[in-house]
A and B are shown apart, each in its own frame.
Chain A
Amino acid sequence: MHELAVTESILNIVLKHAQANKAEKILSISLKIGELSDLVGDCIQFYFDYLSKNTIAEGAAIEIERSPVIFQCRTCSDTFQVSLKDSKDIVCPECGGIEVTFVSGREFYIKHIEVV
């Protein structure tokens, strides 16, 4: 639901970098978004197409790489991926341990852009 605000930030950042690099056109934008974030990719592209009209980013394709939610087991130290929305509980697949620590899954940044 907050995709509009996020998309405005993305556009500002990529325009800044494209201009600093004297680019004529932005072709693609690649984002890294953790699975803990509820961003809807289609929604971002939709807003982006609208917001980027008449800029050098018009028509750029947004590619989102989702990074998984990772936990680490405190019993056996194994790290493992969890799909929170499909699982009732977070259990280590290696040893069945339930003492686990959240490691990552909150990434929210722009990786790179392709320009000409």
Chain B
Amino acid sequence: MADIRLIEIKEEILADNKDLADEIRNALRKNNVFMVNMMASPGGGKTSLIVHTIRELKSMFRIGVIEGDIDSVVDAEKVAGEGVGAIQLKTGGFCHLNAPMIRMALDEMDLKNLDLIMIENIGNLVCPAEFDTGAHKKVVILSVPEGDDKPLKYPLIFSICDALVINKIDYLGVAEFDVDVFKERVLKLNPEIRIIEVSCKTGEGVQAWIRWLTDEINAYRNRR
């Protein structure tokens, strides 16, 4: 019998996805389009925050939205109702969006006539964290009723995001959620993360989110 050989590989499992994500960032750079990947649990407030953002920024930036959904078009219809273009990706059971899916969506969009693309990822705190979509910034939204223990249960997503939006702060006092403890847990995993507290329902804090996003878009455009 032939000898058993050991072949060293040391290759990142998702290297192909990462390479395509880098290509996507290059294509966006050519058109000066900024893309942000929004992640959260189902019901965390992704669609609501995207709708607020469209209302606040559509006079300033040309906006497009990529909606990831297992098998429905409800969110895309809500977003299109705000007067911006939305591409619906039905993932048919896939639990996350990856770079090839975003590439397909971008092929359907007119990048020359866009400034900002928001990706609404699949509602899930686990899988989307592993896959680079080609976005420039990653945002996780965590709503107060979900509990302040989530950074311990789903540490990866908190460790890789650039901003954390704590949504539904109108539930503070009703839900068992200690904002200080929560922030401390997140900051230990990721000291660079920007934390913004909002209520998409009352509108409180939404301006702070808009400022963060606008600053990021402008910084990106000025780096050209």
Chief secondary structure at chain B's binding surface:
mixed
Give Cα A21–Cα B12 distance, bound, in whole angstroms: 19
CB within 8 Å of B: which of A22-42? 23-24, 27, 31, 36-38
Cβ contacts under 8 Å, A71 to chain B: 188
Q: Which residue of B lies closest to A71 (CB)?
A: B188
The count of residues in chain A whose C-beta lies closer than 8 Å to any C-beta of chain B is 42
CB within 8 Å of A: which of B3-61? 3-17
> A13 and B96: CB pair below 8 A?
no
* B153 beta carbon closer than 8 Å to chain A: yes
Chief secondary structure at chain A's binding surface:
mixed
Q: A2-B96, A21-B5, A111-B9 are in contact. Are A85 and B191 (CB under 8 A)?
A: no
Return the contact of A109 from the options B4, B11, B154 (Cβ within 8 A).
Answer: B11
> B7 and A112: CB pair below 8 A?
yes
Cβ contacts under 8 Å, B3 to chain A: 116
Return the contact of B190 from the options A13, A102, A105 (Cβ within 8 A).
Answer: A102
CB within 8 Å of B: which of A59-82? 69, 71
CB within 8 Å of A: which of B161-187? 184-185
> B130 and A2: CB pair below 8 A?
yes
Give Cα A108–Cα B130 distance, bound, in whole angstroms: 9
* B212 beta carbon closer than 8 Å to chain A: no
Mask: chain B, 122-154; 1 = CB below 8 Å from A; 0 = not: 001011001100000000000000000000111
Footprint of A on B, CB under 8 Å? 1-17, 94-96, 98, 124, 126-127, 130-131, 152-156, 159-160, 184-185, 188-191
Footprint of B on A, CB under 8 Å? 1-2, 5-6, 9-10, 12-14, 17-18, 21, 23-24, 27, 31, 36-38, 69, 71, 84-85, 87-90, 98, 100-102, 105-106, 108-116
